[in-house]
Homo-oligomer: A and B are copies of this chain.
Amino acid sequence: MISKQEITDRFKIIQNSICNSLEQEDGLSGFHEDIWERLEGGGGISRVLENGAMIEKGGVNFSAVFGETPDNIKQAFGYSSGEFYATGVSIVLHPINPFVPIIHMNIRYFEMNDGTWWFGGGIDLTPHYIDREDASFFHKSLKNVCDKHHESFYHKFKQWADDYFYIKHRNETRGIGGLFFDRLNASGSKLALFNFVEDVGNSFTPIYQKISRKNKEKSFSERERNWQLIRRGRYVEFNLVLDRGTKFGLETNGRTESILMSLPPLAAWNYNFTPEENSPEYETLSLLKKDIKWINS
């Protein structure tokens, strides 16, 4: 049985290792660190990198918070009282080059003082321009991580991501999905689930390294930059209108600047922008759908 303290420590290690490799990869800019405390218990380490060589804005946050359970968690989970403990790592990167995708990864552990516990998390890719080869590589890598732990995981969590990262009012997915899971629990196998979650966390660096190295030197013009800004606008819509984590953070008086590090450095809303038929933007839009099998056989 792994303890919450061990989980917390291993999550911190993941934050450090991701930050180190991102700094090396970016070369130009380092992370700015803010250590914050939560009045009611716990706190976090927020790290944000701005104006790098490859990353325009990116955040890699760690937090471990605890105390009397906030009312809306109690409501959501059917508790009338009790103390909670929650720890997690959360990443969003907005690259400069429109041919490099936005990426998000989150892993989290939650427990109540009555012994109830679960893991949640996910990883999803939001290309401004979808490259089928990259999409296939991304999903294959995630399937490999999943298959090591349970044969049903990839299928189940891929579908969950399609449903979760869906912008209803646009009838578009946020990107090409990935994995999403919540309230993962299996009596007696906390360590096994932790190992899976840790593997998801550790998959981040090699996956993003490969995709960003392949695309970050591609040349682009104002046209691709404008489209990137519009897609970032959709990212803002998802995060502010639909994302449960963002909503939860803002409603429970989390640290606003840490929660909203996920928002892009710059985003655009052109009225009723419609890409020309058969343009690369049009092709991408046509692939922002649920239930696409991204893995080439």
B-contacting residues of A (Cβ < 8 Å)? Answer: 32, 34, 48, 50, 57, 59, 168-170, 229, 233, 236-237, 240-241, 247, 250, 253, 256-257, 259-261, 263-272
Q: A263-B233, A266-B229 are in contact. Are A257 and B271 (CB under 8 A)?
A: yes
Q: Which of B241, B250, B266, B270 contacts A169 (CB 8 A)?
A: B250
Q: Which residues in B have their C-beta under 8 angstroms from that of A240?
A: 236-237, 240-241
Q: What's the Cα separation between A229 and B229 when bound, in Å?
A: 13
A57 / chain B contacts, CB cutoff of 8 Å: 269, 271
How many subunits of this chain does the assembly comprise? 2
Chain B contacts of A250 at CB under 8 A?
A: 168-169, 241
Q: Is the CB of B257 within 8 A of A263?
A: no
List 5 extra interface pairs beyond A236-B267, A264-B269, CB under 8 A: A59-B271, A241-B247, A257-B271, A265-B269, A265-B270
CB-based nearest B residue for A274: B257
Contacts of A271 in B (CB 8 A): 32, 48, 50, 57, 59, 257, 261
> Chain B residues near A169 (CB, 8 Å)?
250, 253, 256, 259
Question: Known contacts A240-B240, A250-B241: does B233 contact A272 (CB below 8 Å)?
Answer: no
CB nearest to A50 among chain B residues: B271
**Nearest CB on B from A65, distance (A):** 16
A13 to chain B, nearest CB (A): 24
Measured in the bound complex, the distance between the Cα atoms of B263 and A169 in whole Å is 15
Inside 8 A of A270's CB, which chain B residues have their CB?
Answer: 50, 265
Q: Which residues of B are found within 8 Å of A257, using beta-carbon distances?
A: 271-272
Which residues on B sit within 8 Å (CB–CB) of A233? 263
The CA-CA distance from A260 to B236 in the complex, in Å, is 12
- Please measure, in the bound complex, the distance between the C-alpha atom of A79 and the C-alpha atom of B169, giving whole angstroms: 25
Question: A236-B240, A240-B236, A256-B169 known; A268 and B269 CB under 8 Å?
Answer: no
Q: How many Å lie between the Cα of A141 and that of B223 in the bound state?
A: 44
Q: Which residues of B contact A263 (CB under 8 A)?
A: 233, 269
Q: Quote the shortest CB–CB distance from A90 to chain B (angstroms).
A: 14
Measured between beta carbons, the chain B residues less than 8 angstroms from A266 are 229, 266-268
Instruction: Point out which of A32, A59, A265 has the most chain B C-beta atoms below 10 A from its C-beta.
Output: A265
- CB neighbours of A59 from chain B (8 A): 271
| Residues in chain B near residue A260, CB distance under 8 A | 237, 269
* Alpha-carbon distance between A253 and B169 when the two chains are bound, in angstroms: 7
| 7 residue pairs, one from A and one from B, having the closest CB atoms | A240-B240, A263-B269, A48-B271, A169-B250, A257-B272, A169-B256, A266-B268
From A32, A48, A253, A266, residue with most partner B Cβ within 10 Å: A266
* Chain B residues in 8 Å Cβ range of A272: 34, 48, 257
Determine the distance from Cα of A84 to Cα of B32 in the docked complex, in whole angstroms.
Answer: 53
